[in-house]
């Protein structure tokens, strides 16, 4: 009896090709689906650069920003405040602990030595101490009040940029811009831009300066 081999017929060959295509398509689809699954598993949501006070502060070995603020407010340090506009430059250099300060103010008119004790501002001339009220003439003293500044900024979000051991925290507040630069352990500088003025507040040796008597 003649063997009936369906797969050798034209219909059988066509069906074979169809089945092979189906298998091929299934394999390709399976590989595609697996690849997409791996991509989804590996995908990480990009970090939002706009943060609140506690978000992403302690990664990359940086101390928390809120802790740095507290240390600056509650400890002693050296400072150099450089205040400029297109026509004027004023420099305050001194040492601060709590409400007490001793320093020098430098302008085009000259240099004076001053002290601030419990909010009372005085000029020192050798052994003579005279209360004065014009130490901050022509500038806004509020921008030199670190406690007031942090309190005003506390309700605002900020963006954070990190590079090596430096971190820049930037606020775009209504009316002025504030940038806070830190190292791993402490705040190094606060820069405030308001109208035509730039207030550059530099801090050194935070919590490493002897208490002022």
Domain boundaries in the chain? 50-204
Q: Read off the tokens for 99.
A: 């409400």
Record the pTM. 0.71
Residues 6+ apart with CB under 8 A from 50: 157, 158, 159
> How far is Cα 177 from Cα 194, in angstroms, rounded to an integer?
7
Express each pLDDT in 32-52 by its tens digit.
677 666 655 554 443 434 455
> How far is Cα 171 from Cα 179, in angstroms, rounded to an integer?
6
- Strands 100-107, 120-125: pairing is unpaired
The confidence score (pLDDT) of residue 199 equals 98
The confidence score (pLDDT) of residue 8 equals 66
Looking at CATH, the fold of the domain delimited by 50-204 is given as outer membrane lipoprotein receptor (LolB), chain A (2.50.20)
The confidence score (pLDDT) of residue 81 equals 98
The confidence score (pLDDT) of residue 97 equals 84
Tell me how far CA of residue 97 lies from CA of 27, 118, 122, 124, 213, in angstroms. 73, 11, 16, 18, 9
Residue 94's H or E segment, with its range, is: strand 89-97
Helix/strand/coil for 199: strand
The confidence score (pLDDT) of residue 1 equals 44
The confidence score (pLDDT) of residue 61 equals 86
Largest separation between any pair of C-alpha atoms in the chain:
133
**Residue ranges for the chain with pLDDT beneath 70:** 1-8, 10-13, 15, 17, 21, 24, 28, 32, 35-60, 209-213
> How far is Cα 99 from Cα 210, in angstroms, rounded to an integer?
14
∠169-142-98 over CA atoms, to 5°?
85
């Amino acid at each position: 009896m003649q063997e009936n081999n369906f797969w050798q017929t034209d219909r059988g060959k066509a069906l074979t090709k169809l089945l092979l295509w189906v298998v091929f398509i299934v394999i390709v689809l399976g590989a595609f689906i697996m690849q997409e699954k791996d991509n989804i598993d590996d995908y990480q949501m990009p970090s939002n650069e706009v943060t609140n006070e506690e978000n992403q502060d302690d990664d990359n070995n940086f101390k928390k920003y809120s802790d740095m603020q507290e240390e600056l407010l509650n400890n002693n340090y050296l400072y150099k405040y450089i205040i400029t506009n297109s026509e004027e430059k004023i420099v305050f250099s001194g040492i601060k602990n709590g409400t007490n300060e001793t320093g020098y103010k430098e302008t085009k008119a000259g240099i004076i030595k001053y002290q601030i004790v419990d909010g009372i501002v005085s000029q020192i001339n050798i052994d003579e101490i005279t209360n004065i009220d014009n130490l901050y003439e022509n500038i806004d003293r509020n921008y030199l009040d670190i406690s007031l500044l942090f309190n005003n900024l506390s309700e605002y979000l900020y963006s954070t940029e990190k590079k090596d051991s430096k971190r820049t925290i930037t606020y775009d507040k209504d009316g002025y811009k504030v940038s806070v630069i830190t190292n791993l352990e402490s705040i190094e500088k606060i820069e405030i831009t308001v109208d035509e003025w730039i207030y550059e507040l530099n801090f050194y040796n935070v919590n490493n300066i002897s208490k002022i008597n």
